[in-house]
Amino acid sequence: MPLASPGPASAEISEYRLELKVDFDAGRWLGRVEFEPRGPSRTLDLDSVGLEIRTATVGGRAVDFRLDATEGRLSLPIVGAGETVTIEFAGAVHPGQLIGLYRCRHGEGHLLTAQCEPVGARRIFPCLDRPDRKARIRLRVRTASGLEVVSNTREESATAAGGDLVDHAFPPTPPMATYLFYLGIGRFDRVEAEEGRVAVRVLTPPGRGAAGAYAAASARRILAGFEEYFGIPYPLPKLDLLAVADHAFGAMENWGAITFRDSRLLVETDSESFARRDVFETTAHEIAHQWFGNLVTMETWDDVWLNESFASLMETRLSQRLIPELDPLSDYFLRVSGALAAFDGDSLGSTHPVRAHVARPEEISQIFDEISYGKGCAILGMLEAYLGPERFRRGVSTYLDRFRYANARTEDLWEALGEAGGEPIAAMANPWIDRPGHPVIDAALDGATLRLRQRRYSTLPGAGEEAPWPIPLVLDVDGAPRRTLFTGRELDLEVPRSATVHLNPGAVGFYRVRYEGVLFDRLLGALADRPVTDRFALASDYGSFLFSGDAPWSDYVRLLRALEGANDLLVVDTVTRTLQTLAWLLADAPAVQDEARRYVAERLAAVGLRQRPGEALGTGILRERLASARVRLDEGFARELAELYAEWPRLDPDLRPAVAVARARTGGVAGWNDLRRGLRSSLTEGDAIAFDRGLAWSGTPEQVLATLELIPAGTIPRGHIGVIVAQTAANPAGRTVVWPWLERHLDGIDETFRGSGQLSTLVERLVPLVGLDRPREVRSYFDAHPYPEAIRGLRKGLERLAIYERLRSRHAELFR
Ligand code: BES
Ligand code: ZN
């Protein structure tokens, strides 16, 4: 369904008085909203999608309204300024969708819960649904007794309204963007914790309260940490964290009422180590938004990168301070939409600038991607390093204070950072966010001259010359750092003839480096003694060069030898991903197959399959990654590992995902049935994910198909659909069945993902996987079926497909 465009709206509304009568079981509501608009317009255009408008009055007089359902616009004639507008309307949850007010599984029962970002508020009540139209919302909800109602502010009163109904009243929110509105109705268990003036609650499905304890304790530490960092107190008296089983995203920062997908909030006592870090970081990310995003909001969606990148940076910095033992820096690089993914996506011609212009609502969700999160975050990190962390912090704090309860643009942050740093930074910062792509530096040593040259990095040949980037360059020469701003195309620096040089130590800069001749040799020799981030930078850059053709396979193999013995999650995971992709792509390149199997087997042997007493906390994450990779790469290993399935309830949670895949790959029909049963009875989302991913890795086409059929049957949780489909497409046993199935079901998946941007991600992942076997069919399908919500993903997927095709066609010469 098309949505109203975020075009100009001249009117302003400072407060909505909103009353909703909600039929919890039927998922319907009758609503009434009242406000006094300000502004010059003679007509008032409101955003309203999927609502039935019953009456509209202005100053008590009924008026003729026009509802443009295609554009989602409700137009009213306005007579006098300051008159009260009253609109009565009706709405209903849309089965299957995860935006607006929707129904979601919740223990044995259900929950009604809201997701408004980016454009869901207009599906709950008619409003000016744009980030620069901040308003207070004063909410009253009438619903059946025995239900709890949660919103942005703390419930003020609950009074019987006769006939088993209760009226819940909430004090007005602070002035805020409508995309931050929250309403949740249901029955909850809870954990409560006070942090100074702030009442923190974790609300869970009945019976799971205890699993909220870790998040509650973390949230208190995080709130205190940010109050100190920003120098501004959290402005509400309460903060609720809600576990929501069906969630279009991982979590959502509604002011005072943050929602999370279960697995990103709840931690069982035996949860995998990954779960704890993920919960902490997700909580930190969303709490950071309470200031950056909620208190100060981007003026238009074009600046959404700033919102998300900043929260991502804060999530990492605070985690580095408060949970260093869980290795948050690795996650900064490796997470979905982290820096590694950002480099990867930004190497494509179809990338977009960090600051991207969005014209239509269906485009908004599509830019919540690795560029807006990961690249933007890396650029902010680069600026932080350039200014120094304390000046950066002061700039941020000034910005937040200056624009509180209002809107700001990227330029406003640059200005505040410039003031704090004592020099303007826009000229240095803007090229990084306004230009697509990033540079690669070619480094060569000529006697005592280090010659650096920069160009745009690209995985497909044919990129033209582009203006150089202003690179805040840090280089390590024989262990001593040097800094300079590299603004031209070339730069010569004097160094000792025998120097070992590493550019970009700490992997702080958003650029790649290719070393020539002796520079590469010397660096390989010194690698073992350098910090893990430096080994990572090489592993990441040289892995990527295999796809761009900037370095040969033989260089990569030399690098692998130099990395032998390194068991850091960051390095091992990076290498494993590269080898996994290559091995999948080049099934008949023995050199690649051998290297991939050997690397993963050796690293896993070093970690061990079983936990060892006293091992570092992050080891479990490494074990999970390696076991999961090896079980996919190596069927013999899968057969061995499958035996552990019998131990499931006692099994180390870090090993469960790999064991489920092993059972599916090698267990035949009995294996499939085991996992299906497991999925049905799994109590935690972690287990459910292990089971449904396992099912995606079944050993025969018939079983893979049976797994896919669980999607329309409603057995696969909606939030897992994207991953499951992508996993079946990566599974060699799925080769013949996945694409024909998709041709019949993509329309339905599109419907389920409406408004969430997930279709774009899915198409991006799928196209190179399924397209390699049948490029023409896949291309012509998407020609005939353009999905507006997947335009970006399709473009990127097709480009990756072209890269893979080129590599595959040349593998005999390239990978010997
Ligand atoms: N604001 C986003 C959620 C969101 C994303 C809403 C896209 C609408 C469109 C939230 O702050 C977020 O970034 N969530 C992440 C998790 C976070 C820890 C990176 C997510 O959902 O993946
Ligand atoms: Zn966010």
Gap between the Cα atoms of 706 and 700, Å rounded = 10
What one-letter code names the amino acid at 122?
R
- Any idea which ligand is nearest the CA of 358? 1
Gap between the Cα atoms of 623 and 724, Å rounded = 22
Q: Residue 39: its pLDDT value, please?
A: 77
Give the pair of three-digit tokens for residue 453: 């040259």
Contact 249 CB / ligand 1 (< 6 Å)? yes
**β 109-115/100-106 pair status:** antiparallel
User: Annotated active-site positions, please?
Assistant: 286
Q: Residue 683: its pLDDT value, please?
A: 76
Is residue 101 a contact partner of residue 112, using CB atoms and an 8 Å limit? yes
Q: Residue 682: its pLDDT value, please?
A: 85
> Which of 178, 262, 368, 759 for mutating ligand 1's site (highest number of atoms within 8 Å of CB)?
368
Contact 642 CB / ligand 1 (< 6 Å)? no
> CA angle, corner 155, sides to 154 and 158, nearest 5?
170
Contact 285 CB / ligand 1 (< 6 Å)? yes
- Measure 255 CA to ligand 2 centroid, in angstroms: 12
Q: Residue 29: its pLDDT value, please?
A: 98
% of residues, the chain, pLDDT over 70 = 98
Of 264, 222, 269, give the one whose Cα is nearest residue 243.
Answer: 264
**Ligand 1 atom closest to Cα of residue 308:** 13
- The helix (run of H) or strand (run of E) holding residue 599 is helix 590-607
For the segment 580-610, what is each residue's pLDDT rounded down to a tens digit?
Answer: 999 999 998 999 999 999 999 999 999 999 9
CB-CB neighbours of 357 under 10 Å: 11
2 pLDDT band (50/70/90 cuts)? very low
Contact 761 CB / ligand 1 (< 6 Å)? no
Contacts of 507 (CB under 8 A, 6+ apart): 333, 339, 533, 534, 536, 537, 540
Q: Is the peptide bond before 118 cis (omega within 30 degrees of 0)?
A: yes
Per-residue CA distances from 256 to 79, 150, 152, 153, 307 (Å) = 36, 10, 5, 6, 17
Is residue 80 a contact partner of residue 39, using CB atoms and an 8 Å limit? no
Residue whose CA is closest, atom 21 of ligand 1? Answer: 250
Collapse the DSSP code of 189 into the 3-class scheme (helix H, G, I; strand E, B; otherwise coil) and give the result: strand
Gap between the Cα atoms of 665 and 387, Å rounded = 52
Give the pair of three-digit tokens for residue 53: 């408008």
Q: Residue 40: its pLDDT value, please?
A: 66
Q: Residue 366: its pLDDT value, please?
A: 74
Residue 806 per-residue DSSP state: H
What one-letter code names the amino acid at 149?
V
Contact 536 CB / ligand 1 (< 6 Å)? no
Gap between the Cα atoms of 198 and 560, Å rounded = 51
Share the mean pLDDT of the chain: 94
How many contiguous H segments (helices) and E segments (strands) does the chain have? 27, 31
Mean pLDDT over 216-242 rounds to 97
What one-letter code names the amino acid at 570?
L
Contact 138 CB / ligand 1 (< 6 Å)? no
Gap between the Cα atoms of 759 and 751, Å rounded = 9
Contact 327 CB / ligand 1 (< 6 Å)? no
Lowest mean pLDDT segment, chosen from 7-16, 242-251, 443-452, 728-737: 7-16
What one-letter code names the amino acid at 535?
R
For the segment 43-56, what is each residue's pLDDT rounded down to a tens digit?
Answer: 899 999 999 999 99
CA atoms within 13 A on the CB side of 529: 7
Residue 323 per-residue DSSP state: -
9 pLDDT band (50/70/90 cuts)? low
> CA angle, corner 663, sides to 659 and 664, nearest 5?
120
Residue whose CA is closest, atom 1 of ligand 1? Answer: 252
Q: Residue 79: its pLDDT value, please?
A: 64
% of residues, the chain, pLDDT over 90 = 86
Start-to-end CA distance of the chain, whole Å, equals 51
Residue 734 per-residue DSSP state: G
For the segment 67-118, what is each residue's pLDDT rounded down to a tens digit?
Answer: 999 999 999 997 677 899 999 999 999 887 899 999 999 999 999 999 999 9
- Measure 308 CA to ligand 2 centroid, in angstroms: 4
Residue whose CA is closest, atom 3 of ligand 1? Answer: 252
Of 687, 642, 674, give the one whose Cα is nearest residue 661.
Answer: 642
**Ligand 1 atom closest to Cα of residue 337:** 19
- Measure 117 CA to ligand 1 centroid, in angstroms: 9
Does residue 665 carry a pLDDT above 90?
A: yes
In terms of phi and psi (left: phi > 0; alpha: psi -120 to 50; beta: otherwise), the region of 200 is: beta
Give the pair of three-digit tokens for residue 391: 């000046």
CB-CB neighbours of 662 under 10 Å: 29
Lowest mean pLDDT segment, chosen from 60-64, 249-253, 460-464: 460-464
Give the pair of three-digit tokens for residue 47: 């955003």
Residue whose CA is closest, atom 20 of ligand 1? Answer: 250
Contact 657 CB / ligand 1 (< 6 Å)? no
Q: At 118, phi and psi to the nearest 5? A: -85, -35
Give the pair of three-digit tokens for residue 765: 């992942």
Q: Residue 8: its pLDDT value, please?
A: 45
Gap between the Cα atoms of 397 and 413, Å rounded = 10
367 pLDDT band (50/70/90 cuts)? confident
Q: Residue 112: its pLDDT value, please?
A: 98
- Measure 370 CA to ligand 1 centroid, in angstroms: 12
Does residue 6 carry a pLDDT above 60?
A: no
Lowest mean pLDDT segment, chosen from 352-361, 505-514, 647-656: 352-361
Is residue 512 a contact partner of residue 544, using CB atoms and an 8 Å limit? yes
Lowest mean pLDDT segment, chosen from 6-20, 484-498, 500-514, 547-561: 6-20
Q: Residue 5: its pLDDT value, please?
A: 41
Contacts of 649 (CB under 8 A, 6+ apart): none
- Any idea which ligand is nearest the CA of 337? 1
CB-CB neighbours of 678 under 10 Å: 21
Give the pair of three-digit tokens for residue 483: 């800094």
For the segment 764-815, what is each residue's pLDDT rounded down to a tens digit?
Answer: 999 999 999 999 999 999 999 999 989 999 999 999 999 999 999 988 888 8
> CA angle, corner 652, sides to 650 and 657, nearest 5?
110
Give the pair of three-digit tokens for residue 747: 């329309």
For the segment 316-348, what is each residue's pLDDT rounded down to a tens digit?
Answer: 999 999 999 889 999 999 999 999 999 999 999
- Measure 247 CA to ligand 1 centroid, in angstroms: 10
Give the pair of three-digit tokens for residue 307: 């919102």
Residue 372 per-residue DSSP state: I
Mean pLDDT over 141-165 rounds to 97
Gap between the Cα atoms of 667 and 698, Å rounded = 8
Contact 170 CB / ligand 1 (< 6 Å)? no
Angle formed by the axes of helices 376-387 and 304-322, nearest 10°: 60
Of 233, 212, 49, 203, give the one whose Cα is nearest residue 123.
Answer: 49
3 pLDDT band (50/70/90 cuts)? very low
Collapse the DSSP code of 271 into the 3-class scheme (helix H, G, I; strand E, B; otherwise coil) and give the result: coil
Per-residue CA distances from 173 to 15, 179, 378, 496 (Å) = 9, 13, 33, 63
Per-residue CA distances from 35 to 67, 299, 437, 734 (Å) = 19, 22, 46, 56
Of 518, 521, 469, 478, give the one whose Cα is nearest residue 500.
Answer: 478
461 vs 68: which has the higher pLDDT: 68
Give the pair of three-digit tokens for residue 783: 């020609």
Does residue 195 carry a pLDDT above 80?
A: no
- CA torsion sign, 126 to 129 to 133 to 138? positive
